[in-house]
Amino acid sequence: MSLFDSFVNTTSGKIEKNAHFFALYDRYLARYRNHPCVLYIVIDSAHAEAQAEMWARYLGAFAQIVCLTEHDFDRPQIHGRRSDLTDPSFRMRLLEEFGPADIVIDDGTHLPDITISTFEILMDLMTNTGLYFIEDTYTAYWSSYQGEVGRDSTVIGYTKALIDELHASYTSHAIPPNAFSARVCGIHIYDGLIIYEFGRNTNHRSMTNLATS
């Protein structure tokens, strides 16, 4: 089953998703399907349960879907928690109840300060091989979402700076290594979608084969 199949077969509520996102999710999440995994979704209350149903249907029976939203709910495999991510005790309860996130999908913040602070908080709840998705990043160019071309404070401007941080070990300490460069091994940027790939990137050696000319 593709994510699009799951999308069209979800009938519990309205879901809005950019059409080109489906193939991207299929590409990146194939390894999680029908395997134990934990997905945290940052989502508004109106769309939380339908989105959770879609993702549970897609990822399979071994996945736990946790919506960080405005109300609590529990159904088999699907959970909602009224979230205050700034509260360390709430984050600890998430870890105790569900464990670290293999996947995070932010489909609910959209405003730059909230999007960025949510990422910086939730990255501490990620596994060391997880994937963090931020949807609808084109809002970084819209004034109605505090966006503007070239503005450093948007999620696009923030991610441009993180590309430098990703390469901190090559900068002769001009960019000090930090938690991001220690934990994130890749940034994938698509039309309207950013994916941060977690992984340890410690082997920076250059290698040469033994072939002779």
**In-domain check, residue 207:** no
Query: What confidence category does residue 148 fall into, taking pLDDT thresholds of 50, 70 and 90?
Result: very high
Residue 40 pLDDT > 80 = yes
- The residue ranges of DSSP E strands in the chain, in sequence order, are 37-42, 63-69, 73-75, 78-82, 101-106, 126-135, 184-190, 193-198
**In-domain check, residue 208:** no
CATH number at residue 64: 3.40.50.150
How much is the average pLDDT of 53-81?
96
Nearby residues of 139 by Cβ (< 8 Å), 6 or more positions away: 110, 145, 147
Residue 30 pLDDT > 90 = yes
CA angle, corner 7, sides to 100 and 10, nearest 5? 95
**In-domain check, residue 21:** yes
Q: Who has greater pLDDT, 138 or 210?
A: 138
Whole-angstrom distance, CA of residue 103 vs CA of residue 132: 6
**In-domain check, residue 210:** no
Average per-residue pLDDT for the chain: 94
pLDDT digits (tens, 9 = 90+) for 117-129: 999 999 999 999 9
**In-domain check, residue 211:** no
Helices (H), 12-132: 21-29, 45-59, 88-98, 112-122
**In-domain check, residue 163:** yes
**In-domain check, residue 159:** yes
pLDDT digits (tens, 9 = 90+) for 4-22: 999 999 998 999 999 999 9
Nearest to 103 by CA among 142, 64, 75, 150: 64
**In-domain check, residue 18:** yes
Residue 203 pLDDT > 90 = no
**Structural domain boundaries enclosing 104:** 3-198
- Which strands make up the sheet holding 184-190, listed edge to edge? 73-75, 78-82, 63-69, 37-42, 101-106, 126-135, 193-198, 184-190
Nearest to 132 by CA among 140, 141, 122, 142: 122
Instruction: Domain count for the chain, please give it.
Output: 1
